């Protein structure tokens, strides 16, 4: 018994399923692409990108400490028999590190960076001449920062101030 020729109409026992195959195939392809993009996004945003941002923030924190300490040290003029000293030097620092505020403060002869992320916080020693009696003050991120040096030939005071140095 030979089968009669097929004319594209449904067979008696069921539907002709050959017309559905391309639609199912495309749906599976789209699903695989969506699954791949979701997996890639999860991996990047869940681990790689935050780690990278933390490392970048730590490097920016190190640069802020290095720049600030260099500017403080540079503000102290050399001793060439000058009777009195009064200098004011503006220091340019980033307003935020990693989208968060920070503070620079003096602790003895060290400059300390306080940041909410402990990986960004740091400390560096200030290399100042012996004639500097004291270093004091603090800078808040996002404010105009100044180094003020005042005193005589044998005793200088270094202050970190905001704004005009008042």
Give me the pLDDT at residue 158, please.
95
pLDDT class of 26 with cuts at 50, 70, 90: confident
pLDDT of 165 higher than 50: no
- Across the range 91-106, mean pLDDT stands at 93
Give me the pLDDT at residue 43, please.
75
Which residue would you say has higher pLDDT here, 55 or 92? 92
- Across the range 7-23, mean pLDDT stands at 61
Name the most confidently modeled range: 44-53, 116-125, 157-166: 116-125
DSSP track, the chain: -PPPPP-SSPBTTB---TTTHHHHHHHHHHHHHHHHHHHHHHHIIIIIHHHHHHHHHHHHHHHHHHHHHHHHHHHS---SS-S-EEEEEEE---S-BTTB--EEEEETTEEEEE-SSTTT-EEEE----TTEEEEEEEEETTS-EEEEEEE-SS-EEEEEEETT--
pLDDT of 18 higher than 90: no
Full-model pTM: 0.67
Give me the pLDDT at residue 10, please.
56
Query: Tens digit of pLDDT for each residue in 38-57?
Result: 888 877 777 666 667 788 89
pLDDT of 23 higher than 90: no
- Across the range 75-103, mean pLDDT stands at 87
């Amino acid at each position: 018994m030979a089968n009669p020729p097929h004319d594209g109409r449904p067979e008696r026992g069921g539907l002709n399923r050959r017309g559905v195959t391309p639609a199912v195939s495309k749906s599976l392809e789209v699903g695989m692409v969506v699954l791949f993009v979701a997996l890639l996004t999860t991996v990047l945003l869940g681990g790689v990108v935050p780690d990278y941002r933390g490392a970048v923030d730590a490097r920016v924190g190190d640069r802020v400490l290095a720049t600030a300490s260099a500017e403080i040290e540079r503000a102290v003029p050399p001793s060439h028999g000058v009777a009195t000293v009064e200098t004011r030097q503006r220091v340019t620092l980033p307003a935020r590190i990693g989208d968060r505020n920070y503070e620079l403060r003096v602790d003895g002869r060290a400059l300390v960076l306080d940041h909410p992320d402990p990986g960004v916080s740091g400390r560096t020693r200030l290399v100042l001449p012996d004639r500097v009696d004291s270093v004091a003050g603090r800078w808040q991120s996002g404010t105009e920062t100044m180094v003020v040096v005042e005193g005589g030939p044998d005793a200088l005071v270094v202050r970190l101030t905001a704004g005009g140095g008042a």
